[in-house]
Structure 1
């Protein structure tokens, strides 16, 4: 099996890096701690680069690419903490495309901003469709859905949905009276929709809590497996983003450990420092491998998507948490101040721990898939 990138994928990755290099996201993130308006609007960048239609079929105006291609862009975004609307826009466009929406082409071109409201598929721990809570730890039920022909209305609240505050179209996941998932496309300005846009802790993330009170939209023709695919796509995207952030943190920490001297020696020569940096590298490489596996599952092993994406999210999430803390430790006193970018990495890591189910939930999902025989099966010759 060839695990290297194709020429097209290398071009996609390099083009993403070039696009992000033109936007000073790290500098903006520093300013946004005091003034959230300092963060640049990344929707035009995503539209110009064609990322909003990355997972949309070519007949609907998209690029017709796969999950791993999207993960490459997410990885580059993670390197510079770019708040590009991938976590909300990509699953939304994918579901609109698969569900036969007449809005798909407008979303793929960037003419219409769309965002997916996260809904977590059932598991042995939570045997129902749930959403992130606005506050507290208990996960509420996904919005109640009432289907009427080609339309569907939703009632409920979804907490902390990425990119929903700027969206003009919301892809909502609810459950009908029988507990079956239903997807619909609801205008953000429709009657019964209240969007509370905000950011919490990490200024590079645009989030919103959305309340639906009988909000009506067009029903999307999707089954439970297709609806769940969006959730696992975002798990994989967050994992890839985390890998990118870990790469930058490791590079910066290693360079500092080589150039900072104490008692006549580079601090990287001390075991307490170098062992920590090696652990950063180990966690990074493990996370990269699992992201490759997740991309492979989306293209070739659909029965392993839940397991693979959850593995990547779990390991990359834990890896980023460790790496962010270790970056501060390597840099000593300056690493804990706003004189350095390390606190921005730490904030991203802590929000990622909780966003869209959190990486603790992903770890539980890995166990659930394995214990129920849905993980990979080794064949002994």
Structure 2
């Protein structure tokens, strides 16, 4: 679907082998000796001074980065990544270029989630670093971890740091055709961390390959039981397979209080309730899922089906839910067409803005209207008035999802459905 920021999986290395240096005593000025050896491109000799430099200059980011450069020429990718990360930390993440170098080094060593942790620390220290937040968003998206990506994407939109790629990736999940090469390569380089396989597990589950997805998620959760995105996807895979015993065994090991806010948790519970022929609880659980993430179509379509099966008579609620589901489906269809047509259609971008405004996703709607205004003119599309209508409803306090006046957005299951 959307090609997001990509990161190289190679780290530039030095030239060939060098003769081993002569053993020598630690000099009084190890940093000077290290840099002298660097100028002579005697990398192995320079490395001999690395420990002394780090001991003498523990809070000097430039000195630490010099040692990292030596490690890079000696093809020590993990040392490069660790040293650059340390350099970023000692200077309180103030150097954008260094943060980017460290991120690339970590990704190149297959340490995706160490790179993510670095960027999380950076924007916690300096929340206004929009470029860094975008790198973080793209890393999360490319790793298949949309749940962690979305809050950062929404922040970027509210801060008007968006483009069409960001808006498309916010609106529609990755395609089943997406290339998994980079994440698989990271796991090959760093087999001690299987979390990047989450993206492959997502793809398998979305393609209906439930058994394969389940096996892969068992590997991830076995190695990283604390990794909640994989645990939630594992629960959905177990529920989808209809293995009630395995699901309940999984559930017995979870701290459910930490899962209550996750739509996936409630979708899995609803799927299991339906498998147990318990439609009333299935309806309640799907409703909970819809309120945790009203942008998902599965809870809404399932609610409509169950309401019909249970012969629930609530025309206003049913109409509101039907309208939301149709808008969500229309938005996805329009976004996919917009992407396929080269992201240049003013009409489609405006249509997306209109549907988002109907749903109460005003910040996103305004962003799409703004994008539409930059696209080739189409005299049949009055995007200016569309944007003006949206902007008239926005204030600094407007939530991402406006729920006021929307009967389909209420935390408790409607009385008519009980």
What TM-score range do you get, normalising by the shorter chain? under 0.3
State the structure with more CA Rg.
Answer: 2
Higher helix share: 2
**Quick one: higher RCO (CA 8 Å, sep 6+), 1 or 2?**
1
TM-score, normalised to structure 1, is: 0.28
- Please report the TM-score for the alignment, with normalisation by the length of structure 2: 0.26
